[in-house]
Structure 1
């Protein structure tokens, strides 16, 4: 007699990892993975910068460092430098001691910690349950992260218009104006995933005006500061603008893309408040103890070392500019190839987005055609990681996209 498992009724969960699994199983010699999350250089691999390798080696061999638990909120120097990177050293919030930071397990850990703080203490701590407003489309894990924290009222505002292949600011503004007051609005400061399309400063000002008038709370995401436009200041401008207006906010940062520290899970959450800062910080510390107890050390030490040394900082900033310029070059070359092939549609949106991602606005059938017939793997709606395009696969990718739009499926 067989014994049923207590987990017999558990269904398979859909996962973005399916793209990676399908790609690994594919044996075609010309296969291309454009659905990955990492920055991939022209050589087709993810590697550390020589500077990062050198600092990692220094940390490993430093006899003064001991394998002890770090403070619950993380390495203080890392928290300070991460906050300064986002807000600027002369930020009013920093100078007036209205901000605290917490080292987290990547950006996902930062979002989860922020969600837990909101659920417990937002709106006078009255067991708040939403709504949280996410962009449509957005990183698929975001909704699940908020729901895992007990916030079930997750809604969406329109962001990307598939027909015009651009951000539809008017739709976004309309949805925010008609959302409940005191909603939490999740926003990508730069490098929107999965479209790569960001708002300009004038558009961000219009969004901010609505958040102020509707008493909304911004929860910013900053997954790759400096890699989107090549400028640390430009990529952080929307967050700094909110701080300059005196808004309270949360911001989740990630250092995976910008430092190549994908396996170290180096994230950061900072909170800007008008008052009661120490009390909220103590609640964050209590929550961290239940989530991961204390964060890992080495990755955060690498980031803190770079950000604290002017020479290292200059070298790192230059590497970000090089990466951003290469991504833009790949965008321009892809658009030009599609133009020369007379591929149906207007492809100017490819060069109007920034950072790692862009969205081609393909149908589900066209995306399936690319993976099944051409062995080119993209995210839904034809969103892709442009850094995975290189001099060896550019022509094949462009020709495959052309065939997907012109073939009878």
Structure 2
């Protein structure tokens, strides 16, 4: 009996973390990692944001600071700030919202999937193709009874969004109360975002089909340096699809899985929140208690330290202004690296069209390189990226961009597919 219980099938290693382990073991002096979704400075090192460093110093000097448990739902002050950051102060104050602190954005996505599977009971969750590698795993583990359906998002031939196909799929395959996953900004892995008119079209389909929206917001402020602009889609849906007293003019609700890993450089601190927004005549008391029950069973209490850092920065006008400048520093460096990589590839006469590298947004680029080309870059040049050809632009700097461009150019010219 015991051997049967322990006879679980072995699963393949996580793709991204498996590659990171290979990078760590690689002793080649010119190795380049373009894998991790984490900011790196010009020297290829993790960057502690000056605003974060100052907040840590203040916390260290605070004689009242301690390491006691937070409540199950987390810090109320942090949740107020987090809610206002993503929804905007005006929308947050007039909206019907239940919020709970989570173990970063992954925890927020998992908590949302578990809660919605139990209480909304959707037939399907509609997931963009392609998407963040963990979306499918989260729903497979947290909500195995909910069928996963992909909707088209990216056209590799034109390197653009398959918007007409996306809308057609949502129109024809979705059922009322189905969950649709949307990335608020800096779409991972394609780095292509919908225009505002396109967002409005998606909102209209969601309203007409009565779909429940799950926004994944991992890059607010990091995508463009503009905190308000990066939250536009979430705020539009919240303001226009949930406030009407007429049920025909609204959707069942929406969730926002919010991460502070990228925009604060706090990847290891796991700071996040989940916000459930409902129409004004819906009570969220039960929602909050059910979310707390799941959280209690899974991890009991959320982390405190990173939460205090975010709360300190965003509640102090001076630190908040400094944080905005830090966001500009990161987003400006990424834009510069995009331009340099494109310029070098074009100067080398690399076959193909490379303007998409410069026009995409956020930390990633969907380069268009094939799995075979990616494999050769790893084997011969010690340049690591995901098999899809997605690269983290953060891994580029003045010291390696020439080498990366020359390597890519040689592989593409070799004609390997």
| TM band (smaller chain) | over 0.9
Alignment of 1:211 with 2:216, yes or no, is: no
Q: Matches of 1:268 and 1:4 in 2, distance apart?
A: 40
SS in 1 for 2:204: helix
Deviation at 1:117, TM superposition (A): 1.3
- Aligned match of 2:301: 294
Alignment of 1:234 with 2:233, yes or no, is: no
Deviation at 1:263, TM superposition (A): 1.1
Q: CA offsets per residue over residues 351-398 of structure 1, 9 Å max, x none?
A: 221110110111110110111111111112211111111000001111
What aligned pairs does 1:235-254 form with structure 2 within 5 A after superposition?
235-247=230-242, 248-254=253-259
Alignment of 1:142 with 2:135, yes or no, is: yes
Alignment of 1:259 with 2:264, yes or no, is: yes
Moved more, 144-153 or 314-323: 144-153
Q: CA offsets per residue over residues 45-93 of structure 1, 9 Å max, x none?
A: 11212221221132234221233211110011110000100011111xx
Deviation at 1:31, TM superposition (A): 0.6
Match of 1:119 among 117, 120, 145: 117
RMSD: 1.5
- Aligned match of 1:25: 25
Alignment of 1:277 with 2:284, yes or no, is: yes
Structure 2: give runs of 5+ residues left out of the alignment. Answer: 243-252
Distance 1:147 1:4, change over 3 A: closer
- Aligned match of 2:247: none
Q: Matches of 2:171 and 2:411 in 1, distance apart?
A: 39
Q: Matches of 2:212 and 2:173 in 1, distance apart?
A: 12
Structure 1: give runs of 5+ residues left out of the alignment. Answer: 123-127
SS in 1 for 2:174: coil
- Aligned match of 1:316: 323
- The question of whether the paired residues in 2 share the 8 Å contact of 1:370 and 1:377 is answered with yes
Q: Matches of 1:334 and 1:363 in 2, distance apart?
A: 18
Q: Matches of 2:217 and 2:158 in 1, distance apart?
A: 26
Deviation at 1:8, TM superposition (A): 4.7
- The question of whether the paired residues in 2 share the 8 Å contact of 1:129 and 1:150 is answered with no
- Aligned match of 2:87: 87
What aligned pairs does 1:8-407 form with structure 2 within 5 A after superposition?
8-15=7-14, 16-91=16-91, 94-122=92-120, 128-151=121-144, 152-182=146-176, 183-247=178-242, 248-274=253-279, 275-407=282-414
TM-score for the superposition, normalised by structure 1: 0.94
Moved more, 145-154 or 347-356: 145-154
Distance 1:129 1:99, change over 3 A: closer
Q: Matches of 1:5 and 1:261 in 2, distance apart?
A: 41
SS in 2 for 1:263: helix
Q: CA offsets per residue over residues 297-329 of structure 1, 9 Å max, x none?
A: 010011011111111111101110121111111
Distance 1:268 1:285, change over 3 A: same
SS in 2 for 1:384: strand
SS in 1 for 2:231: helix
Deviation at 1:13, TM superposition (A): 2.1
Q: Matches of 1:67 and 1:237 in 2, distance apart?
A: 36
Deviation at 1:9, TM superposition (A): 4.8
Which runs of structure 1 show a deviation greater than 3 angstroms over 4 or more consecutive aligned residues?
3-9
Q: Matches of 1:407 and 1:39 in 2, distance apart?
A: 32
Q: Matches of 1:143 and 1:333 in 2, distance apart?
A: 34
Deviation at 1:97, TM superposition (A): 4.9
Deviation at 1:22, TM superposition (A): 1.1
TM-score for the superposition, normalised by structure 2: 0.93
- The question of whether the paired residues in 2 share the 8 Å contact of 1:59 and 1:298 is answered with no
Q: Matches of 1:172 and 1:100 in 2, distance apart?
A: 30
